[in-house]
Amino acid sequence: MKTQSSSSSSKGPRGRRSGVKVPCDECIQRASQTGTEGNNLELCEKCTAVLNRPRKKQEDQPSNVRRVRRQSHAIIDTALGIHTEQPALPWSDDRQEQHALQFFIRHSAPQLAGYFDSPFWQKMVLVAARHEPAVRHAVAAIGALHEKLLAGVVNPAETTQDKRGRFALEQCNKSIQILIKPREVDGKPNLRLMLTTCVLFTCFEALQGNCEQAIIHASQGYNLLQQYAVDPEDKRWDAGAFAVELDQLTVLMRRLQTQGKGLMGKDFNMASCIQQLALEKPTRFTDLNEARSSLEKVLNQLTVFFLDLELDDQYYDMAITNGEKHLVFAPWLQAWELAFSSLLAQRQPTMNEQERKGAMILKAHHLVAEILSNVDLSLGEMAWDAFHTKFTAIVDLAAALLEDSKRSDASIIDARWKTSGVFISSSNAELSFSLGIVDPLYEVVARCRDPVLRRRALELLATHPRQECMWSSWSAWKVGKFLMRLEEEGSDAPTTSSDIPAERRISEAWLDFSDKSLPAGRGRIGYKRAVPRAAARYALNPGLFDWRTDEPGFIPSLNFATVVTPEGSRSQTQSGYFATSPSTTSPPSVQLTPPEDNERVATWSSFNQ
Indicate if 256 and 149 belong to the same structural domain: yes
Q: At what angle do helices 438-447 and 353-374 cross, to 10 degrees?
A: 30
Do the domain assignments include residue 229? yes
Indicate if 257 and 152 belong to the same structural domain: yes
Say if CB 527 and CB 542 are below 8 A apart. Answer: no
Do the domain assignments include residue 459? no
Residue 167 has pLDDT above 50, yes or no: yes
Number of domains, the chain: 2
Per-residue confidence at 170, pLDDT binned at 50, 70, 90? very high
Can you tell me the distance from the alpha carbon of 456 to that of 444, in angstroms, rounded to the nearest whole number? 10
Indicate if 94 and 231 belong to the same structural domain: yes
Gyration radius of the chain's alpha carbons: 31
pLDDT value, residue 300: 82
What type of residue sits at position 122?
Q
Regarding predicted confidence, which is higher, 289 or 48?
Answer: 289
Indicate if 41 and 166 belong to the same structural domain: no
- Residue count of the chain: 609
Indicate if 10 and 93 belong to the same structural domain: no
Selection from 579, 465, 593, 461 nearest residue 528 by Cα:
579
CB-side neighbour CA atoms (13 Å) of 554: 11
pLDDT value, residue 186: 56
- What does the pLDDT average to over 447-458? 94
Percent of the chain with pLDDT over 70: 57
Regarding predicted confidence, which is higher, 254 or 298?
Answer: 298
Indicate if 32 and 128 belong to the same structural domain: no
CB-side neighbour CA atoms (13 Å) of 250: 14
Indicate if 31 and 91 belong to the same structural domain: no
229-243, 427-441, 459-473: range with highest mean pLDDT: 459-473
What type of residue sits at position 604?
W
Indicate if 30 and 164 belong to the same structural domain: no
Among 213, 243, 271, the domain-final residue is 271
For 114: left if phi > 0, alpha if psi spans -120 to 50, otherwise beta; the answer is: left
Cβ-based neighbours of 409, under 8 Å, separated by 6 or more: none
For 576: left if phi > 0, alpha if psi spans -120 to 50, otherwise beta; the answer is: left
Where b means 16+ CB within 10 Å and e means fewer, 252-270 reads bbbbbbbbbbbbbbeebeb
Indicate if 241 and 128 belong to the same structural domain: yes
Per-residue confidence at 454, pLDDT binned at 50, 70, 90? very high
pLDDT tens readout for residues 20-33: 566 787 777 777 77
Say if CB 431 and CB 167 are below 8 A apart. Answer: no
Per-residue confidence at 585, pLDDT binned at 50, 70, 90? very low
Regarding predicted confidence, which is higher, 526 or 65?
Answer: 526
pLDDT value, residue 467: 83
Do the domain assignments include residue 127? yes
Indicate if 29 and 114 belong to the same structural domain: no
Instruction: Look at 4-8, 49-53, 229-233, 392-396 and tell me which has the smallest mean pLDDT.
Output: 4-8
- Alpha-carbon distances of 12 from 1, 7, 15, rounded to whole Å: 19, 8, 9
Among 244, 271, 298, the domain-final residue is 271
* Strand locations in 319-447 (E): 430-432
Do the domain assignments include residue 70? no
Can you tell me the distance from the alpha carbon of 109 to that of 567, in angstroms, rounded to the nearest whole number? 56
Instruction: Look at 121-135, 170-184, 405-419 and tell me which has the smallest mean pLDDT.
Output: 405-419
Backbone angles phi, psi at 591, to 5 degrees: -80, 130
Instruction: Look at 26-35, 58-67, 149-158, 478-487 and tell me which has the smallest mean pLDDT.
Output: 58-67
Farthest-apart Cα atoms in the chain, separation? 122
- What does the pLDDT average to over 92-115? 85
Per-residue confidence at 322, pLDDT binned at 50, 70, 90? low
Can you tell me the distance from the alpha carbon of 203 to that of 577, in angstroms, rounded to the nearest whole number? 30
Residue 444 has pLDDT above 90, yes or no: yes
Per-residue confidence at 577, pLDDT binned at 50, 70, 90? very low
Can you tell me the distance from the alpha carbon of 415 to that of 153, in angstroms, rounded to the nearest whole number? 10
Can you tell me the distance from the alpha carbon of 51 to that of 7, in angstroms, rounded to the nearest whole number? 12
Selection from 397, 408, 410 nearest residue 464 by Cα:
408
* Strand locations in 349-502 (E): 430-432, 466-468, 471-472
Can you tell me the distance from the alpha carbon of 564 to that of 188, in angstroms, rounded to the nearest whole number? 51
- What does the pLDDT average to over 539-559? 33
Per-residue confidence at 361, pLDDT binned at 50, 70, 90? very high
- What does the pLDDT average to over 284-309? 83
Structural domain harbouring 25: 5-52
pLDDT value, residue 95: 84
Say if CB 202 and CB 260 are below 8 A apart. Answer: no
Tell me how many degrees the CA angle 413-415-416 measures, rounded to the nearest 5: 65
Can you tell me the distance from the alpha carbon of 361 to that of 466, in angstroms, rounded to the nearest whole number? 14
pLDDT value, residue 44: 82
pLDDT value, residue 448: 94
pLDDT tens readout for residues 334-347: 999 999 999 999 98
Selection from 376, 371, 271 nearest residue 315 by Cα:
376
- What does the pLDDT average to over 422-450? 78
pLDDT value, residue 285: 92
- What does the pLDDT average to over 194-222? 84
Residue 410 has pLDDT above 60, yes or no: no
Indicate if 186 and 249 belong to the same structural domain: yes
Q: What is the mean pLDDT of the chain?
A: 69
Can you tell me the distance from the alpha carbon of 494 to that of 552, in angstroms, rounded to the nearest whole number? 29
Do the domain assignments include residue 486? no
Can you tell me the distance from the alpha carbon of 520 to that of 538, in angstroms, rounded to the nearest whole number? 49
Can you tell me the distance from the alpha carbon of 297 to that of 306, in angstroms, rounded to the nearest whole number? 14
| Coil/strand/helix, residue 471 | strand
pLDDT value, residue 491: 74
pLDDT value, residue 264: 65
Regarding predicted confidence, which is higher, 217 or 454?
Answer: 454
Do the domain assignments include residue 281? no
Do the domain assignments include residue 292? no
Do the domain assignments include residue 148? yes
pLDDT value, residue 373: 86
pLDDT value, residue 371: 92
Cβ-based neighbours of 125, under 8 Å, separated by 6 or more: 109, 135, 139, 196, 200, 244
Residue 576 has pLDDT above 70, yes or no: no
Neighbours of 199 (CB within 10 A): 23
Regarding predicted confidence, which is higher, 599 or 460?
Answer: 460
Indicate if 43 and 184 belong to the same structural domain: no
Helices (H) and strands (E) in the chain, counts: 22, 6
Q: At what angle do helices 451-463 and 438-447 cross, to 10 degrees?
A: 150
What type of residue sits at position 1?
M
Residue 303 has pLDDT above 50, yes or no: yes
Can you tell me the distance from the alpha carbon of 401 to that of 435, in angstroms, rounded to the nearest whole number? 13
Can you tell me the distance from the alpha carbon of 305 to that of 321, in angstroms, rounded to the nearest whole number? 9
Residue 539 has pLDDT above 50, yes or no: no
What type of residue sits at position 432?
S
Regarding predicted confidence, which is higher, 329 or 547?
Answer: 329
Among 253, 271, 289, the domain-final residue is 271
pLDDT tens readout for residues 464-518: 888 888 778 888 888 899 899 989 887 778 888 888 888 888 887 877 777 767 6
